[in-house]
Amino acid sequence: MSEKMQAIMKTKPAYGAELVEVEVPKPGPGEVLIKVLATSICGTDLHIYEWNEWAQSRIKPPQIMGHEVAGEVVEVGPGVDTLQEGDYISVETHIVCGKCYACKHNRYHVCQNTKIFGVDMNGVFAEYAIVPAKNAWKNPKNMPPEYATLQEPLGNAVDTVLAGPIAGRSTLITGAGPLGLLGIAVAKASGAYPVIVSEPSEFRRELAKKVGADYVINPFEEDPVKAVMDITNGAGVEVFLEFSGAPKALEQGLKATTPGGRVSLLGLFPREVTVDFNNLIIFKALEVHGITGRHLWETWYTVSSLIQSGKLNLDPVITHKYRGFDRFEEAFELMRAGKTGKVVFFPHKG
């Protein structure tokens, strides 16, 4: 007998999504079925919802949205010997080939054939979801689902913040959206000081303070470079972490970084950016990192341990919690308006 479930589905190639009732799927070979305990909205989901150019080129409706998740394995498909019913898991979203040059060098995070869970296939904004077993990450039973679902984006933040030494280092974070807020939490837990955050939204500057930022700056009202120089007695910051994707923030951050400092870039810019390489990078001997995805699986170990240490201040980052999906449109519109940190759904109402 088949069972039905609710799911947020991208039904049409147009703005928005629909709450639909569909059959609970059966896991195929190499897959498991999970009961979704918590699932959170990523900026990528918002792009799919808005149906921007990238989404139009990549997404093939109808498709269930969502990729950040915590869930319990309720059925195991043929050939899966790494998971069993009752396991409590999250999911690495990058499905890598294991065969390309990058994979053969253990650089799975830059696999040349990466498929993305919840982007290139059905995802987790549903009461139940199919997960490829090889991408499951087992959680300790006592980790709250609202934290466990944040591990995937936390992995992006961890790889950005911990791409070089951070303890005791002055740090500038540009952008306090959901990713930047997670970055602040990781930087503070890792001993960065002072953590200076540049963010134009007042709501998000307040969140940044709650998460632990030592100084917040509105870059539209004061010059972040001057503010950083004042705070650091003219030295500039040791570490610049870019989480905004704003070209201006990149320029300001490079100017505010001390010569010989470290720059880690996660934010994705809307277009090609122009940078004065000679004066802002080469003559300053900056160490610059591009950050993408998560190291498999080192980053997951670090994220899990940081959460279990109790040192990550995640509660202020989670601004909205919804039981069920009934109000999903409200959640997406709030996020579009920049009036949220992380938004978490608990799909089962009981």
Ligand X SMILES: NC(=O)c1ccc[n+]([C@@H]2O[C@H](COP(=O)([O-])OP(=O)(O)OC[C@H]3O[C@@H](n4cnc5c(N)ncnc54)[C@H](O)[C@@H]3O)[C@@H](O)[C@H]2O)c1
Tell me which residues touch ligand THR (CB under 6 A).
42, 44, 67, 93, 116, 119, 152-153, 156, 293
Q: Which does 175 bind (CB under 5 to 8 A by kind): Zn ion, ligand THR, ligand X, none?
A: ligand X
Whether residue 160 is annotated as binding a ligand: the answer is no
Largest CA distance in the chain: 70
Q: 103 or 227: whose CB is closer to ligand THR?
A: 103
Q: Any catalytic annotation for residue 47?
A: yes
| Residue 201 binds ligand X, judged by CB under 6 A | yes
Closest contact distance (angstroms) between CB of 27 and Zn ion is: 23
Whether residue 179 is annotated as binding a ligand: the answer is yes
Q: Which does 97 bind (CB under 5 to 8 A by kind): Zn ion, ligand THR, ligand X, none?
A: Zn ion
Whether residue 100 is annotated as binding a ligand: the answer is yes
Q: Which of 202, 197, 222 is nearest to 212 (CA)?
A: 197
Whether residue 268 is annotated as binding a ligand: the answer is yes
Whether residue 68 is annotated as binding a ligand: the answer is yes
Q: Which of 94, 188, 204, 262 binds ligand X (CB under 6 A)?
A: 204
| Residue 67 binds ligand X, judged by CB under 6 A | no
Whether residue 348 is annotated as binding a ligand: the answer is no
Instruction: Look at strands 88-91 and 136-138 and give their pairing.
Output: antiparallel
How far is residue 46's CA from residue 60's CA, in Å, rounded to a whole number?
Answer: 16
Whether residue 267 is annotated as binding a ligand: the answer is yes
Give me the 122-161 binding string for ligand X, x by CB under 6 A, dash otherwise: ----------------------------------x-----
11, 47, 232, 289: which one is catalytic? 47
| Residue 261 binds ligand X, judged by CB under 6 A | no
Closest contact distance (angstroms) between CB of 161 and ligand THR is: 15
| Residue 179 binds ligand X, judged by CB under 6 A | yes
Residue nearest to ligand X (CB): 177
Q: Which of 39, 93, 174, 319 binds ligand X (CB under 6 A)?
A: 174
Give me the 217-256 binding string for ligand X, x by CB under 6 A, dash otherwise: --x-----------------------xxxx-xx-------
How far is residue 161's CA from residue 182's CA, in Å, rounded to a whole number?
Answer: 10
SS in 3 state form for the chain? CCCEEEEEEECCCCCCCEEEEEECCCCCCCEEEEEEEEEECCHHHHHHHHCCHHHHHHCCCCEECCCEEEEEEEEECCCCCCCCCCCEEEECCEECCCCCHHHHCCCHHHCCCCEECCCCCCCCCECEEEEEHHHEEECCCCCCHHHHCCHHHHHHHHHHHCCCCCCCCCEEEECCCHHHHHHHHHHHHCCCCCEEEECCCHHHHHHHHHHCCCEEECCCCCCHHHHHHHHCCCCCEEEEEECCCCHHHHHHHHHHEEEEEEEEECCCCCCCCCCCHHHHHHCCCCEEEECCCCCCCHHHHHHHHHHHHCCCCCCCCEEEEEECCCCHHHHHHHHHCCCCCEEEEECCCC
Closest contact distance (angstroms) between CB of 44 and ligand THR is: 3
44, 114, 149, 299: which one is catalytic? 44
How many residues in the shown chain lie near ligand X by CB under 6 A? Answer: 28
- Give residues in contact with ligand X (CB under 6 A): 43, 156, 174-180, 198-201, 204, 219, 243-246, 248-249, 266-268, 291-293, 338
Catalytic site positions: 44, 47
